[in-house]
Structure 1
Amino acid sequence: MTNAWQIDSVTDAAAARAAAARLAARHGIPAVERARWAAALGARMRQCLAEGGTWWLTLGVRGTDSGEGELHAVLAPPPDASAAGEGTPWETTIPLPLADRPGGTGDSDSDSDSDSDSDMVPGDDPAALSRALMSADADTALVLDLLAEQEALVAFHREELHQTNQGVLALHAELDAAGRAQREAFAAERLARNEAENARRRLTFLADASAVLNTSLNHGEIVRRLPDLLVPRYAAHVNVWLFDEEDDPHRPLPRPAATVRAARTGRPQYAADHPGGLRGVDDQPPSVLHPDRPLLCVPLLTHRAPLGVLTLSPPDERWDPDDTVMLLELTRRAGIAIDNARRFEHNRDIAETLQRALLTELPTTPGLSLAARYLPATHGMNVGGDWYDAFHRPDGSLIAVIGDVTGHGLHAAVMMSQLRTALRAYAVDDGSPGRLLTRLHKFLHQLQPNLYATAVIARFHPDESTLTWAAAGHPPPVLRLPDGRVRTLDAKPGAMLGIPLEQEIADHTEQVAPGSTLALYTDGLVERRAEGIDPGIERLSASLGSFGPAELDTGLEDAADRILNPLLSDSERDDDVCLLLCHLQG
């Protein structure tokens, strides 16, 4: 059922609005929705009254396509005005509660029929209109109460939101502080990692450079290597001044003042137009000779006295302080390496002079040719205890000896000379090679209990065609027969000379004919680290057997060189080499 009202005045509009509110209340529409719907309807009717003319409000309940019910209101001008184009109809709807929808538990049509008269509020009945308005005020009060509750709820949530915002701000502040602390920690970690990497790089360079400097025992080579190590990574220019190696002592080269001061004071000096601030280094004005670049002048110190001064200029504008500390340490190690090399060279020269003096001229014996070679080692001290000797005894026989004292250097050379002298003294008495080695063994054990030696002694007698020999821990002699066959005299030898053992070294005798050649040698000729001594002895035997009898009769010296060359094809030798050839003329 629908209801219609004619609206000509404000009173009609108020009565229609009140009736619409009562109809919405009858159908169970909640007060808030009802008040909102009635307010919208009232506002539209005010607009219609402002436009003027007569308007009709039609209210009714209808069903929708989806089967739901709704309260429908239409505000329109009279039909004849609409036909003439005056005014525009306006309509609004509000959904009904479930119980009041068509087909629900209630019966909206019957209720509307029974109470339709009560919905019609005459505009000329003030009492009825007032009751309707009072009823609308009740809805308004309910809406206001709900609004107050919502305002209180909004205020509560606003306070809660404020507290939450404060907590969020505090959390953001903490997160920001934590972020800054984390960034600072990351930066500190990167800095520490970079510093550790730089320290590792410096230590690695220092270790590698020290190894390079200490591998050479030639002080000139060490001085030449210093610039190669430092340029261009740690220095743009490097100059090494050794005090005792001036090109012209009477006209010395001009040196920077800081270099001279470092030589006089023994302290590192830094000459530049700005303070260096380097630990353990004195600041000086810029050098007159090199005003355009800083100079770091570090003395080359030793345990005894300064050797010279190392002067460097930086690869960039200045050095890193930690790099400077590393350079000072490298210079200290370089000074020690140069000093050790000089001391080594001095001892080597003394030992080599002594050893050369002891290797005397070989004697001349009718029917017997002698040729000897001595080559020092190319590594280390270059002077060892290898020696050879040949001399006549009072009975006319010839003693040929070759030996090797353990160790290298001046001490080994001195002990070799003492053994050589003792052997010559013992050989004055009538003693066989075995007895001579036995006496040398006792002599060495008493003289130097911790020093050992090896030796081979051979005796030739002009009236006999025999060779008597004895060995003590030494590589066996090699005998070439006149027909070119070669034998290794490997009869049981004695033990090394000087070991803590009582021994009597035996003699061995071989028949020799004219044209025979005996080769005595030290282990440096035949021993190689990778293969031992036996292959070297086989090569020596093959080389000795390759000569013809006439070649050995006429050119024993040349034969000695031809034996050495293939056996010493390597330019580097770790040990001394001695070779003594004894050839019976054919």
Structure 2
Amino acid sequence: MIRTWSVRTVTQAARARIAAARLAATCGVSTVERTRLVTAFTAHLRQCLTKGGTWRVGVTATPIPGGGEFVLEVEPVGRGSQDRPGPWRMAISCAEDVDLSDGDHGADDPASLAEALFGADEDAALLLERLDEQEALVAFHREELHQTNQGVLALHAELDAANQAQRRLFDAEQKARREAEAARGRLTFLADASAALTASLNHEAIVRLLPALLVPRYARAVDIWLFDGTESSSPDRGASHPAAAVVAARRERPQYAADHPGGLPGVDDHPPSALDPGRPLLCIPLPTRRTPQGVLTLTSPDEGWDADDAVMLVELTRRASIALENARRFEHNRDIAETLQRALLTELPRTPGLTLAARYLPATRGLNIGGDWYDAFRQPDGSLITVVGDVTGHGLHAAVMMSQLRTALRAYAVDGSSPGQLLTRLHEFLHRLRMDLYATAVIARFHPHDDTLTWAAAGHPPPVLRTPDGEVLTLDAKPGAMLGIPLQQRIADHTAPVPPGSTLALYTDGLVERRAQGIDPGIGRLTDALATFRADELDQDLEGSADRLLHPLLHDSEHDDDVCLLLCHVHGDEQPV
């Protein structure tokens, strides 16, 4: 359906506008769309009136799928095709099946015009109301967006704060881990160094070990100043010591000598040393129960010391001082014990036709004093008694018992008793003492002007006899039991020929016995070693032969038991050697 109007004047334009608005309302066009349509139509009519002439306004309502279409067109009338502008057209959706033929949509009476004017105002008011709603909605969404932005900013701030806190925690964890690793390293070093220092009872070895432990990790150089002047780690033993070391010894407190404060716990600051002003020094006294025994001076490494290093170094110095003190005390006691032991061992007598060589090696562990002994003395008839014995145990108690047995043996031998009789009487003597100590011994008697040897053994390793032709025999005839055991026994004598050139070896078990091997392999090694000597070697240098015999049997410098060896070599002449 099409409705048309001719517009030439303003009044006609207003009526066409009113008619178009009413038709749009009739077609069911929404208020907003209708207002938009009328506004655009009014603006175009104004342009048409400005141009002048007659204009045709047409309204068409046609059905389309799903509804209808309201079309408004404006085109000029009566103009040539050259200067004729194109039609203006605007289409909007409307209701389906609208009839535009009914009703007077363009009435000219004032009431209709007023009504149309108020209707337009109502549409404008409704549009403004809708606009207010949209503005309120826009304002609401704007506020909501602002709140969202604020929330996002706050979330970002919280995430950034959480990230920074996490980074701080991570850095703190890494720092704590590094400190824990460093502390564990210091504790491990302190434990290992303490074990190494206390493992030795030689104070010279401890003094040599300290620089090896501390350089270069905790010191560039180490100087150990012992007040008795016996040792120093520096090559020049007469070298001067820094003033801080003297102050440390006098005040018995560690001193840090540098041109800046050290800030080390328990350490006093001191001016830099004139000996080495460019390097900080840490001077720590070596404490003892009474007064310091020296000062340990450390030259700072390139990275210096921190507080934990200083605490650890002071503790290590304390432990090193204890180790030094214990080693010196042990060495002092060992020297006294060794002097006592040597005093108990007699000087071998000169005997015509017989050469004697003895060796005594104390155990390398503990005090150098034990129960092994050797002895040689003449009987009234001119025969020579040689004896090697071993008291069970080690230490001063065993040495005292050895001295008593040695004295008792010499007393019993005055009446010319045989080796078996002497051992039997020693057994009874030791049994009566009831000192919970036992002994083993072997006695050999060389007769003057006789090539026969009389010997007896009580629980002792058998004698080894080298014949002049180089054959080595083990004199393993049935021995007696150990001396002092709760058993009545009578120890028998045995004899063996000893022509000139023969060599008899008496020894203790420390020479031939090794852990987990027993004693028989050691006796075999002894016989093999003795067989390697030439007869002229034993004749000319029995002392040197004794040393050469010990060397293959004691190839290691450490032995847990005392070693005693007595070599008796028979000569062809009777002149004392």
Q: What is the rounded CA distance, in whole Å, between the counterparts of 1:216 and 1:119 in structure 2?
A: 130
Aligned to 1:274: 260
Aligned to 2:92: 94
Q: Does 1:372 align with 2:369?
A: no
Displacement after TM superposition at 1:349 (Å): 2.3
1:401 pairs, out of 387, 396, 402, with 387
**For the Cα contact (< 8 Å) 1:376–1:575, is it kept in 2?**
yes
Displacement after TM superposition at 1:179 (Å): 4.8
Pairing 1:17-166 to 2, within 5 Å after superposition: 17-46=17-46, 54-61=54-61, 67-69=65-67, 71=69, 73=71, 75-78=73-76, 83-84=81-82, 87-96=85-94, 100=96, 108=97, 111-112=98-99, 115-118=100-103, 120-121=105-106, 124-153=108-137
**For the Cα contact (< 8 Å) 1:56–1:77, is it kept in 2?**
yes
Aligned to 2:179: 195
Aligned to 2:553: 567
Displacement after TM superposition at 1:192 (Å): 2.8
Higher mean C-alpha displacement, 77-86 vs 187-196: 77-86
Displacement after TM superposition at 1:454 (Å): 4.4
Q: Does 1:206 align with 2:190?
A: yes
SS at match of 1:207: helix
**For the Cα contact (< 8 Å) 1:267–1:299, is it kept in 2?**
yes
Q: Does 1:352 align with 2:350?
A: no
Displacement after TM superposition at 1:457 (Å): 1.7
Q: What is the rounded CA distance, in whole Å, between the counterparts of 1:82 and 1:399 in structure 2?
A: 168
SS at match of 1:116: coil
Pairing 1:233-272 to 2, within 5 Å after superposition: 233-245=217-229, 254-272=240-258
Displacement after TM superposition at 1:223 (Å): 2.2
1:283 pairs, out of 259, 262, 269, with 269
Aligned to 1:460: 445
Q: Does 1:362 align with 2:348?
A: yes
What's the C-alpha RMSD, in Å, of the aligned pairs? 4.1
Pairing 1:314-353 to 2, within 5 Å after superposition: 314-316=300-302, 319-353=305-339
**For the Cα contact (< 8 Å) 1:63–1:70, is it kept in 2?**
yes
SS at match of 2:219: coil
Pairing 1:382-393 to 2, within 5 Å after superposition: 384-393=370-379
Q: What is the rounded CA distance, in whole Å, between the counterparts of 2:10 and 2:513 in structure 1?
A: 136
Displacement after TM superposition at 1:14 (Å): 4.4
Residue by residue, what CA displacement relative to the aligned partner does 1:131-175 show, whole Å, maximum 9, x if unpaired? 334334444343344444445555555666666666666666665
Displacement after TM superposition at 1:397 (Å): 4.9
Aligned to 1:435: 424
Q: Does 1:226 align with 2:215?
A: no
Q: Does 1:469 align with 2:456?
A: yes
1:489 pairs, out of 473, 476, 480, with 476
- Structure 2 spans left out of the alignment, 5+ residues: 573-577
Normalising to structure 2: TM-score of the pair? 0.80
Structure 2 vs 1, CA of residues 468 and 407 (structure 1 numbering), >3 Å: closer, same or farther?
closer
AA aligned to 2:347 is: E
SS at match of 2:222: strand
Displacement after TM superposition at 1:208 (Å): 2.1
**For the Cα contact (< 8 Å) 1:397–1:460, is it kept in 2?**
yes
Pairing 1:505-584 to 2, within 5 Å after superposition: 507-514=491-498, 518-529=504-515, 531-545=517-531, 557=543, 559-582=545-568
Structure 2 vs 1, CA of residues 253 and 184 (structure 1 numbering), >3 Å: closer, same or farther?
same
**For the Cα contact (< 8 Å) 1:76–1:87, is it kept in 2?**
no
Q: What is the rounded CA distance, in whole Å, between the counterparts of 2:119 and 2:275 in structure 1?
A: 113
AA aligned to 2:203 is: H
Higher mean C-alpha displacement, 84-93 vs 536-545: 84-93
Q: What is the rounded CA distance, in whole Å, between the counterparts of 2:426 and 2:89 in structure 1?
A: 142
Structure 2 vs 1, CA of residues 291 and 570 (structure 1 numbering), >3 Å: closer, same or farther?
closer
Displacement after TM superposition at 1:285 (Å): 3.0
Q: What is the rounded CA distance, in whole Å, between the counterparts of 1:43 and 1:23 in structure 2?
A: 18
Aligned to 2:288: 302
Residue by residue, what CA displacement relative to the aligned partner does 1:272-320 show, whole Å, maximum 9, x if unpaired? 3333333322333333443333332222221132222222232248531
Q: What is the rounded CA distance, in whole Å, between the counterparts of 2:563 and 2:383 in structure 1?
A: 26
**For the Cα contact (< 8 Å) 1:259–1:309, is it kept in 2?**
yes
Structure 2 vs 1, CA of residues 374 and 12 (structure 1 numbering), >3 Å: closer, same or farther?
farther
Aligned length: 560
Displacement after TM superposition at 1:401 (Å): 3.0
Q: What is the rounded CA distance, in whole Å, between the counterparts of 1:396 and 1:456 in structure 2?
A: 22
Displacement after TM superposition at 1:205 (Å): 1.9
**For the Cα contact (< 8 Å) 2:472–2:530, is it kept in 1?**
no
Aligned to 1:105: none
**For the Cα contact (< 8 Å) 2:464–2:472, is it kept in 1?**
no
Displacement after TM superposition at 1:185 (Å): 3.6
AA aligned to 2:214 is: L
Structure 2 vs 1, CA of residues 182 and 419 (structure 1 numbering), >3 Å: closer, same or farther?
farther
AA aligned to 2:525 is: R
**For the Cα contact (< 8 Å) 1:434–1:504, is it kept in 2?**
no
Residue by residue, what CA displacement relative to the aligned partner does 1:198-256 show, whole Å, maximum 9, x if unpaired? 222222222222223223333233223323322332223332222221799xx975443
Structure 2 vs 1, CA of residues 314 and 505 (structure 1 numbering), >3 Å: closer, same or farther?
farther
Aligned to 2:199: 215
Displacement after TM superposition at 1:494 (Å): 3.1
Structure 2 vs 1, CA of residues 57 and 68 (structure 1 numbering), >3 Å: closer, same or farther?
farther
Higher mean C-alpha displacement, 221-230 vs 403-412: 403-412
Displacement after TM superposition at 1:524 (Å): 3.2
Q: What is the rounded CA distance, in whole Å, between the counterparts of 1:490 and 1:180 in structure 2?
A: 92
**For the Cα contact (< 8 Å) 2:15–2:106, is it kept in 1?**
yes
Residue by residue, what CA displacement relative to the aligned partner does 1:393-415 show, whole Å, maximum 9, x if unpaired? 44555443333456666666555
**For the Cα contact (< 8 Å) 1:235–1:314, is it kept in 2?**
yes
**For the Cα contact (< 8 Å) 2:507–2:564, is it kept in 1?**
yes
Aligned to 2:575: none
